[in-house]
Amino acid sequence: MKPTRRIPAATISRLPLYLRELEELTAGGEDVVSSRVLSDLTRFTSEQIRKDLAYFGAFGRRGIGYSVRHLAASIRQILGIADEPELALVGAGRLGTALLRYLSRRHAGLAVGPVFDSDPKKAMGSVEGYTVLPADAITEEVQRRQIRLAAITVPAPAAAQVFAALVAGGVRAVLNFAPVKLQHPDVFVNNLDLATELQALAFYGQLREGKADEGAGA
Amino acid sequence: MKPTRRIPAATISRLPLYLRELEELTAGGEDVVSSRVLSDLTRFTSEQIRKDLAYFGAFGRRGIGYSVRHLAASIRQILGIADEPELALVGAGRLGTALLRYLSRRHAGLAVGPVFDSDPKKAMGSVEGYTVLPADAITEEVQRRQIRLAAITVPAPAAAQVFAALVAGGVRAVLNFAPVKLQHPDVFVNNLDLATELQALAFYGQLREGKADEGAGA
DNA sequence: GGCTGTGAACGGCTTCACAGCG
DNA sequence: CGCTGTGAAGCCGTTCACAGCC
């Protein structure tokens, strides 16, 4: 709403989790929720929840709690998913189509935008009901449709080029699944490689003499 | 090697990225690497790299740098992927099969273990060359094969039950893609929901008057 | 001189404690 | 009295600066 101060990245990553629970509460017919109840649902402390929300304004009523519907709407506004922005997808392989399904099935506040693939066999075909465009068209199409968000699910060697094409088209934030670290001064990149994620997991799966560690992730 | 102190989660998540670059360097025939060069490759500061490694021992030689092969071997040892532990996969949908391919194609230090699905049509069939077992068999099979690692790629409603079955079988660490927060005092869980990841991305994709923020993720 | 390993300083996120409203 | 909003304290990871080998 009013991003006055600098918002911690950890706070942003928690907002979607609050929203998820708020949507459950809405479905359950709940009108009001306290930070304590949200704490029980999300396992974050109630102080943390209040502080996270307070970065963006005062949404609650003292002595009462938060309006479930209003808070959900506010979080959607904050995250920028209230107007359902389109996401460009590059790479129509297994992971890419999995993402497509996620977006079309669950109502996450994001719409499926243009889908690209560099494989000529896939390009101009159709995946999950969406037309697949050739990778050459990325910059032009992204620019024409004013796309700000993109996900990259291509093999490592193609990632850098695809990223450059997206950036040239004006994309502002990218979720990159390729095992390459992408970066650009004007673009937010979340590099999320499943293989490295699994390797980190392996560390915690080792049998250790002491007690098992708790939590963490994302 | 010798996890003396308490290791920051951020350090663990960087180790696979160091390893990735070390493997590239090995392929390129490099014998020695300095923290400065690794810094250029990974975009982490050289001090951070040295400190991360120092948690586990002294792997480098002053005035020289690190042996590429030896350091790679050490990191594999630390992460617990030197002996290629098996990963159990529950959910043979799009995302699950994408993960299967990742593991069988790229040599990540993890072997594909048992694959499960609750859909009777898929169970006892085959996906990507791996036999799919019914979800009822999770606990027994995981226990019998001494599996410590698992990934969950099932729909939200099934996640909790599947998780309980894995824990009962003795699994120690779980990568959960279902949009539900799973937890257990004795088990490390990384809850990684792609929808919430995309929603957080949307925040950074918003056009803001100030400068764009930098980096972050995982 | 080069590069590692590490205590010290720094900064940022979380937890605590409580003031402020309803 | 209940619950939010927030300064202060505490904690933890990163950055700095430098001592210690090669």
Q: Which residue's C-alpha is at the least distance from the C1' of C3?
A: B63
Q: Could you tell me if A155 and A118 are in contact, meaning their C-beta atoms sit under 8 angstroms apart? A: no
For residue A109, which residues of chain B lie inside 8 Å, CB to CB? 199, 202
Query: CB pairs below 8 Å between A and B: how many?
Result: 222
Distance C5 C1' – B46 CA (angstroms): 12
The answer to whether the beta carbon of residue B51 comes closer than 7 angstroms to any atom of strand C is yes
In this structure, of A9-13, A14-18, A99-103, B2-6, the range with the lowest mean pLDDT score is: B2-6
| Interchain CB distance below 8 Å, B13 and A196 | yes
Alpha-helical segments (H) within chain B? 9-27, 35-42, 46-54, 68-79, 94-105, 138-144, 156-168, 194-205
pLDDT of residue B119: 86
Does the beta carbon of B71 lie under 8 angstroms from any beta carbon of chain A? Answer: no
- Tell whether the model's pLDDT for residue A217 goes beyond 60: no
Check residues 27 to 56 of chain A and report those whose beta carbon is under 7 Å from nucleic acid strand D: 33-36, 46-47, 50-51, 53-54
Task: Encode pLDDT of B72-99 as tens digits.
Answer: 999 999 999 999 999 999 999 999 999 9
Q: Which residues of A touch B187 (CB under 8 A)?
A: 212
Is the CB of residue B141 less than 8 Å from the CB of residue B114?
yes
User: Which own/partner contact pairs does A183-188 have at CB distance under 8 Å and 24+ positions apart?
Assistant: A183/B43, A183/B215, A185/B212, A185/B214, A186/B212, A187/B212, A188/B201, A188/B204, A188/B205, A188/B212, A188/B213, A188/B214, A188/B215, A188/B216
Q: Is A206 on the interface with B (CB under 8 A)?
A: yes
Interface of A with B in 132-171 (CB under 8 A): 148-149, 151, 171
Put simply, whether the predicted model's pTM sits higher than 0.75 gets the answer: yes
Contact B205 A173 (CB under 8 A): yes
Cβ-nearest to B42 among A9, A149, A181: A181
Nearest to A202 among B17, B149, B204 (CB): B149
Q: Which nucleotide's C1' sits nearest to the alpha carbon of A48?
A: C14
pLDDT in tens, A198-214: 999 999 999 865 444 43
Quick check: B44 CB within 7 A of strand C? no
Average pLDDT over residues B11-28: 98
Q: Is the pLDDT of residue B211 over 60?
A: no
- The amino acid at A124: M
pLDDT digits (tens, 9 = 90+) for B144-161: 999 999 999 999 999 999
pLDDT for A213: 40
Q: For position A212, what pLDDT does the model report?
A: 41
**Percent share of chain B, pLDDT over 90:** 85
Q: Mean pLDDT in chain B?
A: 92
**Smallest CA–C1' separation from A39, nucleotide:** D3
Q: What is the pLDDT of residues A159-191, one digit of tens each?
A: 999 999 999 999 999 999 999 999 999 999 999
Asked whether strand D has any atom less than 7 Å from the CB of B57, the reply is no
Percent of chain B with pLDDT over 70: 93
- Kindly tell me if the per-residue pLDDT of B1 is higher than 50: no
Q: What is the pLDDT of residues B85-135, one digit of tens each?
A: 999 999 999 999 999 998 998 899 999 999 999 987 787 789 999 999 999
Nearest by CB to B199, from A43, A108, A200: name it: A108
Question: Domains, chain B, ranges and CATH?
Answer: 9-79 (1.10.10.10), 86-197 (3.40.50.720)
CA atoms within 13 Å, Cβ hemisphere of A202: 25
Residue type, A81: I
Average pLDDT, whole number, for chain A? 92
Q: At residue B214, does pLDDT exceed 80?
A: no
Q: What value does the mean pLDDT take over residues B4-24?
A: 93
User: What average pLDDT does this structure show over B56-76?
Assistant: 97
- Interface touch A188/B208, C-beta < 8 Å: no
Residue A216 scores a pLDDT above 70:
no
Interhelix angle B68-79/B9-27, nearest 10 degrees: 140
pLDDT over 80 (residue B20): yes
Query: What was the pLDDT predicted at B156?
Result: 96
Whether any strand C atom is under 7 angstroms from the Cβ of A10: the reply reads yes
> How far apart are the C-alpha atoms of A67 and A50, rounded to whole Å?
14
- Is the pLDDT at A77 greater than 70? The verdict is yes
